[in-house]
Structure 1
Amino acid sequence: MTSKPSICDLTAKNLARAIAKGELSSHDAVEAHLARIPEQDSRLAAFVTVDAEGARRAADICDAAAAPVGPLHGVPVGIKDLTDTAGLATTYGSVLFRDHVPTEDDLVVARLRRAGAIILGKTNTPEFGFGALCTNKLCGPTRNPFDPALTSGGSSGGSAVAVAAGMVPLAHGTDFGGSVRTPASFCDVASIRPTPGRIPSPRRPLGWDMLATHGFLARGVDDLELALSVCGEGYANDPLSAGVVNDDRPLAGRAKIAATPDFGVAMVARDVRACFAAACDALAGVADVVPSSPDCGGAVETFRTLRAAHIANNYGELLRTRRAELTPTVIWNIEAGARLSAEDYLNAERRRTAIYRSFRELFARADFLVAPAASVFPWPNEISDVTAIDGKALETPIDYLAVTFVVSLVGFPVLTLPVRRQAHELPFGIQIIAPPGCESRLFAFGRAIENELGFSHRRPTLP
């Protein structure tokens, strides 16, 4: 029988295939990963809650089935603790919801279960997903598996670490301004932030809000594509879902790539710029790479305004009634939105529209746009916020995310991949951006550069 460490090294796709062929049981897969979690999580703090008994029951049901119930039959997964799981505590990273147990799954969770996935537990996140460090009053900090003194990134840091350390082969995340992409870059894993609406969110109060999306983290492109395939069906109660159109056309010839280190507006560290330049040199071996960027003038101020307005609208009541129990980061975020006027909001939407159209113009001459997946390398867990880059002060605590939130602003799908690096170097990833609906094209290109350029996950050395 395959040894337990080998099971934890398998991708989700290969694990599902082995279970379908009878080479492994769902029980084997679950027990191997449940054993890995206590081995590693006491120092890494990736999970807020582990549902060992629930996972074992689900594995027994899978093993009793006459045939695989879906493409993820028997595969253990982690769910970010911002997302509801029926019968399993969902804290949103907040002491206010320490005892909250939802009665229904979020749709993305229900679809994962329907595909045969087995939920091992809930991965850590800052309170309500707001914070540069993946920590809260319940759990954390979630530590980087390549150097536990460093951050895993926010806010899907728990999911990134769980995948990198082999606690699960696949994990769910959410991404507002970079919350899937930054942890993926810091922890040397791959991620997908799909076109908004591709994974429906029918409970979202603001149905046309496309700043936040569900996404996934894994050790390779195949697993991201598999996860999106089982969760990406449309849903009538999500108006964004109805507008997503698949564009599955393959590339015609050699890929044309526009490359930008900063979109012309983001502060990006010198060492990140150097790594990105090296990545572009490597990409030039398989594609035509040309320095170019959409016109993103005003993007930083636009995102700050829209983000703040949404947060104040969603969480303003908590600030009024439970302020003492909230983290300082959450308080700052809510207060930033409370000062905005309707004119501020609409002017931001006007600028956002112009930036979107500039992205569209760029994609008339390029197949993909690439940029760094983070503006800095992981920093020590003792430092709660990025306040400066290369000695230059940032205006707000979220500005270090500008290199990712520019893309959130316009709603284009993004695949991130770790770049090739030396063993002593910290992980670093790139964003590969495509027009809305072009996830299949992203996955095909990502798979090619995984194989041809070695832009792929490197396992951390685990005790």
Structure 2
Amino acid sequence: MTSDRSVCDLTATVLARAIAKGELSSREVVEAHLERIAHRDAQLAAFMTVNAEGARRAAQICDAAPAPIGLLHGVPVGIKDLTDTAGLATTYGSVLFRDHVPAEDDLVVARLRRAGAIILGKTNTPEFGFGAVCTNKLCGPTRNPFDSALTSGGSSGGSAVAVAAGMVPLAHGTDFGGSVRTPASFCDVVSIRPTPGRIPSPYRPLGWDMLATHGFLARDVDDLELVLSVCGAGDPNDPLSVGVVTDDRPFARRPRIAVTPDFGVAPVARDVRARFAAACEALAAAADVVPSAPDCGGAIETFRALRAAHIANSYGELLRTRRAELTPTVIWNIEAGAKLSAEDYLNAERRRTAIYRSFRELFSRADFLVAPAASVLPWPNEISDVTAIDGAALETPIDYLAVTFIVSLVGFPVLTMPAPRGENELPFGIQIIAPPGCESRLFAFGRAIQNELGFSHRWPKLP
């Protein structure tokens, strides 16, 4: 029998293969990860809810099945607590929903279950996903496993920490302005924010909204490719998913990479610029690296407007009726959209279209676009918002996310990879961006630099 330590160190792909061959049982894999959670989560606060008994029942079903149920047969996963799980508490990080137990799974969860995955628990998130630090009135802060005084990032910080510390091999996240990418950068894991619609959201009220997507975090690129193959089919009730076209053409043996530290407009810290320059030097061993960026003039103001309008539309009623129970961050986010006019919104959409076309033009002469996955390195949990970078004040609390939300604005898929680092350096990640539908190309390149250039996860030094 494999030891607990080695079981929890295995990737989802390796675990699925071992369980399918009978080398491991699903029950022993689940028990090993539950024990890891028991040992580490009191310190790290990655989980809102641990589904121990439900996971054990699911493992028993997997072990009794005459053949593997699916590609993730018996593999434990974590689900971000913004996403509905049938029969399992889903709080959205809010005291308003502390007793909420959905009757149905979100489609992404249903597809994971059908593939044989076992829901080990719900991972922590700021209230409704709004917050730079992964904390709320129910749980947190989720602590960075590389330095427990520091933030894990918002808003998929619980999932990032659960993966980085070996509490699950694979975890679900959501990403509006950088919510899988920032935690991945801070916690030294890989993540995928796929093309909007690739993982459908058929119950989303605004069907053509492409700012928010489901995503995943893992320790190995193969796991991201595996889980996207399970969750990535279209759904007729999601109009975005109907239009997603897969492009499986390989990139050149020595790809052309455009690199930008800031898209020409994003505030980025000096230490991040230095780390990014070093990462670009490392990439030059496998690619032709050329400084270049699309024209992103007006992107920050555009995202602010669109985001504020969406949030006010979704949560305005809560502000009117339950204001006293909301966190200050959520209140600020809702109020930011209150004064926008229809003309403001449409002008933002007009500018977004121009930025999208500039991205498209860049990809006529580059295979990938690479940028930092965070504008700052992890900061102390006691500081709730990034209000300045290198002493320069930011206009709003979300501007530190510009280096990620610019990509959300245009809907291109993004693979986040840990950059090589020194022994005493904090984790830092890069975004690798490709045209819509080109996730397979991202995975192929990510796998190459992971295996050949050291863009790979390192284990934190935890007890």
Superposition map of 1:214-363 within 5 A: 214-363=214-363
Cα drift, residue 72 of structure 1: 0.4
- Mapping of 1:121-136 within 5 angstroms? 121-136=121-136
Q: What does the per-residue CA deviation read over 1:186-239, in whole Å, with 9 as the maximum and x for residues that have no partner?
A: 000000000000000001000000000000000010000001000000000000
User: How much does 1:453 deviate?
Assistant: 0.4
2:446 aligned residue: 446
Residue 182 of structure 1 aligns with an amino acid whose one-letter code is: T
Aligned match of 2:103: 103
For 1:12-411, list aligned pairs within 5 A.
Answer: 12-411=12-411
Distance in 2 of aligned mates of 1:354 and 1:27: 52
Structure-2 separation of matches of 1:425 and 1:284: 21
1:423 paired with 2:423, answer yes
Q: CA deviation at 1:251?
A: 1.3
Rounded Cα–Cα distance in structure 2 between residues aligned with 1:20 and 1:98: 37
Count of residue pairs the alignment pairs up: 463
Q: Could you give the per-residue CA deviations for residues 306-354 of structure 1, whole angstroms, max 9, x where no partner exists?
A: 0000000000000000000000000000000011000000000000000
How far does residue 252 in structure 1 lie from its aligned partner after superposition?
A: 3.0
User: Could you tell me how far apart the structure 1 residues matched to 2:251 and 2:417 are?
Assistant: 19
TM-score, normalization by structure 1:
1.00
- The residue that corresponds to 1:11 in the other structure is 11
Once residues 274 and 220 of structure 2 are traced to their aligned partners in structure 1, the CA distance between those partners, rounded to angstroms, is 24
Secondary structure, aligned partner of 2:336 = helix
Residue 203 of structure 2: SS of its match in structure 1? coil
Letter in 2 for 1:30: V
Q: Residue deviations 1:421-459, cap 9 Å, x none?
A: 112100000000000000000000000000110100000
SS at match of 1:258: strand
Partner SS, residue 459 of structure 1: coil
Letter in 2 for 1:173: G
Residues 134-163 of structure 1 show CA distances to partners (whole Å, capped at 9, x for unaligned) of 000000000000000000000000000000
Where 1:191 maps in the other structure, the secondary structure is: strand
User: Aligned to 1:262, what secondary structure does the other structure show?
Assistant: coil
1:461 is aligned to 461
| One-letter identity of the residue aligned with 2:247 | D
Q: 2 CA distance for matches of 1:68 and 1:189?
A: 28
Aligned AA (1:402): A
Q: What residue ranges of structure 1 are gaps of 5+ in the alignment?
A: none
Deviation at 1:38, TM superposition (A): 1.3
| Secondary structure of 2:49's aligned partner | strand
User: Which letter maps to 1:423?
Assistant: E
SS at structure 2 position matched to 1:338: coil
- Equivalent-residue separation in structure 2 for 1:269 and 1:115 (angstroms): 42
Gaps (5+ residues) in structure 2? Answer: none
Distance, in Å, in 1 between the alignment partners of 2:237 and 2:367 is 32
Q: Look up the equivalent residue of 1:175 and give its one-letter code.
A: D
Provide the C-alpha distance between the structure 2 equivalents of 1:386 and 1:347, rounded to a whole number of angstroms: 28
CA–CA separation in structure 2 for the residues paired with 1:404 and 1:168: 25
Looking at structure 2, the residues matched to 159 and 93 of structure 1 have their Cα atoms a distance apart, in angstroms, of 13
The secondary structure found in structure 2 opposite 1:111 is helix
Identity %: 87
CA distance in 1, matches of 2:200, 2:418: 27
> Residue 337 of structure 2 aligns to a residue in which SS?
helix
Q: State the alpha-carbon separation in 2 of the partners of residues 163 and 325 from structure 1.
A: 31
**2-side partners of 1:407 and 1:236: how far apart?**
25
Q: Deviations for 1:333-385, whole angstroms, at most 9, x for unmatched residues?
A: 00000110000000000000000000000000000000000000000000000
Equivalents in 2 of 1:328, 1:247: separation in Å? 43
> Which amino acid in the other structure matches residue 458 of structure 1?
R
Q: Tell me, what secondary structure is at the counterpart of 1:183?
A: helix
1:261 deviates by 0.1
2-structure distance, mates of 1:222, 1:451? 11
| Separation of aligned partners in 2, 1:411 and 1:238 | 15
Separation in structure 1 between the aligned mates of residue 283 and residue 33 of structure 2, nearest angstrom: 35
In 1, Cα distance between equivalents of 2:351 and 2:459: 42
Cα drift, residue 268 of structure 1: 0.2
Q: Distance in 2 between matches of 1:32 and 1:423?
A: 28
What secondary structure is seen at the aligned counterpart in 1 of 2:133?
A: coil
Instruction: Give distance in 2, aligned partners of 1:284 and 1:51.
Output: 45
Alignment partners' CA distance in 1, 2:251 and 2:3: 41
TM-superposition CA deviations, 1:15-74 (whole Å, max 9, x none): 011101111000010000000001000010000000100000000000000010101000
Distance in 2 (CA, whole Å) between partners of 1:416 and 1:59 is 31
Say which SS state the counterpart of residue 337 (structure 1) adopts.
coil
Superposed CA offset, 1:100-119 (max 9, x none): 00000000000000000000
Moved over 2 A (4+): none
Instruction: Find the aligned partners of 1:462 and 1:378 in 2 and give their Cα distance.
Output: 18
Which letter maps to 2:183?
A: P
The alignment's TM-score, normalised by the length of structure 2, stands at 1.00
1:135 is paired with a residue whose SS is: coil
Amino acid at match of 1:316: G
Q: CA RMSD in A?
A: 0.4
For 1:90, what is the secondary structure of its paired residue? coil
Q: Secondary structure at the match of 1:120?
A: strand
Structure 1 counterpart SS, 2:430: strand
